[in-house]
Chains A and B, each alone.
Chain A
Amino acid sequence: MDTLPKSACEACPQFNANGLKKLGINTTEFDFVVALAGNPNTGKSTVFNSLTGLKQHTGNWPGKTVTRAEGGFEYNNQKFKLVDLPGTYSLLSTSEDEEVARNFILFGKPSVTIIVVDASRLERNLNLVLQVLEITDRAVLCLNLIDEAERNNIEVDTRSLARDLGIPVVATSARYYRGIPELIQTVSDLANGRIHCKPHRIKNIPENIEKAVQKLSIELKKEFPEIPNSRWIAFRLLEGDRHIIELLRKGEFVI
C-alpha cells in the first residue's frame, strides 16, 4: 500500500500538518465522508471550524447548530467531506434532531464518525458514545475541552478509555487548535483502513432483551445479508421505530 508511512516522521501528525488544506464549503468531489456527532455544547462546531477553516457561528449555548452543516478538508491529497450533525444527548428518541443524527450515521454510511465529548463530563457524554458505537464500526473519540478538564483537576487516561471503547481516543482543545493535527491523522488512518476498531457493545443488558435482539438480528441478516447493522436495527424494531419499519417495507435498507 503506497499510503503506508515509510519513516517515523511521516507517521507523525505534526510532520504531516503541512498536508492539510482547508476546503471550506467546496465539497463537490471527495474521497471520504466524515460525520461529526456529540452532545450539545461540547464544541462540535469549533472542531468543525478548525478542520474546515469555515467560520460557522459558535456560541456557548446548547443547540445553536440548528441545521446540518457541511464542509471539507484535504489531507495528504485525499478529500474529506465533513458533516456537522445536530448535537444530541441520545439517539433513542423520536425528536427531529436525533433522527437526523441517527439516520445519517446509519444510512449516510460515513467513512469515519468523530464523536466529540466534553472531557469534564465524560460519564454523561458516554451515553451517546456507546449508542453511536452500536451503529458504526469506524469511529474516533475526540476528547474535547481537555484544557478545561485539566483546570478542573480531572485526569483522563486516554489509553484505558481507548481500550475499553475499542476506538482511538484523541484529546483536543479545538479552540486553541490543540490535538487537531492528531485528530486529522487518526481520521485519515481510519478512513484508509490503517486502524481497525473493535467497538464496545453494550454489555449490561438484561438477558431477555439480549436474547430477543439476537433472535431478531439473525432473522434480519437472513433477509438482508448486506444490512449495515442488524443489531442496531433489531434494537430499533424492538423500540417500534416507525421510520425503520417503513424503510424495511420499502426495502430501502439495502444499497
Chain B
Amino acid sequence: MKKDNIENLIALSNDLRWQIGDDFHDNLTEGIYADAAEIVSAAVHKKDEKGKLRFDARIDKIITSRTWGFPLMFLVLATVLWLTIVGANYPSAFLGNILLDHIHPFLKTLATNIGFPIWLNGFLIDGVYLAVAWVVAVMLPPMAIFFPLFTLLEDFGYLPRVAFNLDNLFKRAGAHGKQALTMSMGFGCNAAGVVATRIIDSPRERLIAIITNNFSLCNGRWPTQILIATIFVGAVVPQSFSGIASLAAVIGIAVLGMGFMFLTSWALSKTVLKGEVSTFNLELPPYRPPRFWKTIYTSLIDRTLIVLWRAIVFAAPAGAVIWLISNLHIGDITIAAWTIDLFNPFGFLLGLNGVILLAYVVAIPANEIVIPTILMLTVLVTGISGGAGAGVMFEADSANATGDILRSGGWTLLTAINLMLFSLLHNPCSTTIYTIYKETKSVKWTVVASILPVIMGFVVTFLVAQIWRILA
C-alpha cells in the first residue's frame, strides 16, 4: 500500500522533527555559514582593508544621514527637475515649430488639394494629427531628459538609499518601505510604478502602494505643472525671482503629493487595510559607475519611446473627440459649450471652471493633453481670436500668449493654483487604471484607486477656494 507508506514517511518526519527540536532551522543555517566561512577563508584574500568598500560607506554615511539625507534628496530631485524643465524648452520649441507651424499647414493644404471633405479634413488633421503632434512636441523632450537621468541615478545605486531614508516614514504610515521605490518609479509613469509594486510581498501593503501611486506626479503632469507655475506663480514675484518661484511651486506640489501619499497610506492601513508592517532587509548595493552611453541608449529605447507610443495611441482618438464635441451642435450651441455651461457652477465652487473640468474628462486617456484642450476650449467659449478655429488644438507661441488666453477666460492666481492641485489629485489615466485592474484583478480596488484621488481633489480645491475667497 503506497499510500500508507507515504503517510508513514510523513509521520516519521514529524517524529524526527520533535526529536531534533525547535532549533533545526537555526542549526542548519549555522552549519551552512560555518561551511561558507571555511571555504572563503581558503579562497579569498584581501590585500588591503581600505579601499572602495570604505569609500562606499563614507558616501552612505552622508547620503543616509539624519541631517543630510532629506536635504540631499530634495536637492537631487530639484536638480533633475531643473535640468528637465530648462533643457526641454529648446527641443520642444523646435519640434513645435516643425510639427505645428510647418507640417500642419502643409497637410491642411495637401488635404484640400486632394479634395478631402471639410469634416474629414478637420477631423483627421486638426483633430488627430494636432493631438499627436502636441504630445510629441511637449512630451518627447522632457521624457528624453528625465528618463535617462532617472536611469543613471538608478544604475548608480541611489534608489535603495532613498528607500532607506524614507523607510521610517513609510513604517509609521503602516506601509512597506519598498513603496519608496515604487513611488519613485511613479514620478516617471504611474502605470510603471503600479507594475513595480510586485516587489512588495505582502498583499495588504502592495495594495496600499498601488492605490497611492497616483500621488506621484507623473510625466504627463509635469508639463502642466511647469507651464501653469511659470505663467501665474512666476508672474506675482519680481522678474528676477520668477524662475525660482516657479520651480519652488512645482517642487511644492510634488512634495505635497508625497504628503498625500503618506496620509492616504496611513488612513488605509488604519481602516480598511489593517495589518502588521512587514519587515524586510534591504541591501544597500555598492555604488557603481553607470555605463553612461549604454544607459542613455537603453532608457531612450526601452522607456521613452514605449511611453511616447502609448501617449500617441491615446492622444489620437482624444484629439478626434475634442474636434467632434466642438463641431457637433445641440440646438444652436456645440456639445462642448453646452457641457461647459453645465459644469461651470460646480467648477466655480472648486475655484476652477467648466472648461477645466471638461478638459479633464476628455483627457482621461492621457494627462498630457489637458493644457491644449483647456486652451482650445477657452478660445471657443470666450470667442477671442488666437486659436486656429473651432476644435483645433494648438500650442500658443509663448507662455505669455497662453497666459493672455487663459486670463481672458477669467483665470486668476486661484484658478492656476487649484488647477495645479487638481492635476495632482485626480483620477489616474486610463492606462494606469487598466494596469491597476490587471495587477489587482479586483474591480473593487480598481474603482477605489480611481475614485479616491478625485474626491480628495474636489475636497482640497473646494477648501482652498473658500478660504481664498474669504481672505481675499
Contacts and interface: CB of A to CB of B under 8 A. Distances in A.
Most buried by A among B10, B29, B283: B283
A234 B13 CA distance: 8
B471 interface: no
B426 interface: no
Contact of A92 (B25, B160, B198): B25
Contacts of B155: 58-60
Contacts of B288: 60, 148
Interface residues of A, number: 65
Contacts, number: 171
Nearest to A176: B291
A152 B282 contact: no
Contact of A251 (B6, B10, B181): B6
Interface string B35-72: 11111101111111001110000000000000000000
Contacts of B13: 216, 234, 237-238
Interface in B128-157: 151, 154-157
Contacts of B51: 151-153
B143 to A, nearest CB: 16
A202 B43 contact: no
A136 interface: no
A66 B198 contact: yes
Nearest to A158: B43
A212 B9 contact: no
Given A122-B43, A239-B24, A251-B6, A61 B31 contact: no
A155 B43 CA distance: 8
Given A61-B159, A251-B2, A220 B9 contact: yes
Interface size class of B (residues with CB under 8 A): 35 or more
Contacts of A175: 291
Interface of B is mostly: helix
Interface in B5-43: 5-6, 9-10, 12-13, 16-17, 19-20, 24-25, 27-40, 42-43
Contacts of B35: 126, 130, 200, 202-204
A31 interface: no
A126 B44 CA distance: 12
Given A60-B156, A131-B32, A219-B12, A55 B199 contact: no
Contacts of B285: 41, 60-62
A64 B198 CA distance: 9
Contact of A63 (B19, B44, B53, B199): B199
Contacts of A152: 51-53
A126 B33 CA distance: 8
B105 interface: no
A16 B347 CA distance: 70
B34 A204 contact: yes
Nearest to B52: A152
A123 B40 contact: yes
Given A66-B198, A122-B40, A237 B28 contact: no
Given A131-B32, A203-B35, A212 B199 contact: no
A212 B330 CA distance: 84
Given A123-B37, A156-B45, 7 more contacts: A57-B302, A60-B156, A62-B283, A96-B201, A154-B47, A165-B39, A200-B39
Interface of B: 2, 5-6, 9-10, 12-13, 16-17, 19-20, 24-25, 27-40, 42-48, 51-53, 151, 154-157, 159-160, 163, 178, 181, 196, 198-199, 201, 281-283, 285-286, 288, 291, 298, 301-302
Interface of A: 40-41, 55, 57-64, 66-67, 89-90, 92, 95-97, 120, 122-123, 126-127, 129-131, 148, 151-158, 160-161, 164-165, 175, 200, 202-206, 208-209, 212, 215-216, 219-220, 223, 234-235, 237-240, 245, 248-249, 251
Identify the 7 closest CB pairs spanning chains A and B, nearest first: A126-B36, A66-B198, A237-B13, A204-B34, A204-B31, A153-B48, A161-B43
16 contacts: A41-B285, A61-B163, A62-B283, A64-B199, A126-B39, A126-B40, A127-B32, A154-B44, A156-B44, A157-B43, A157-B45, A200-B35, A212-B16, A223-B6, A234-B13, A237-B17
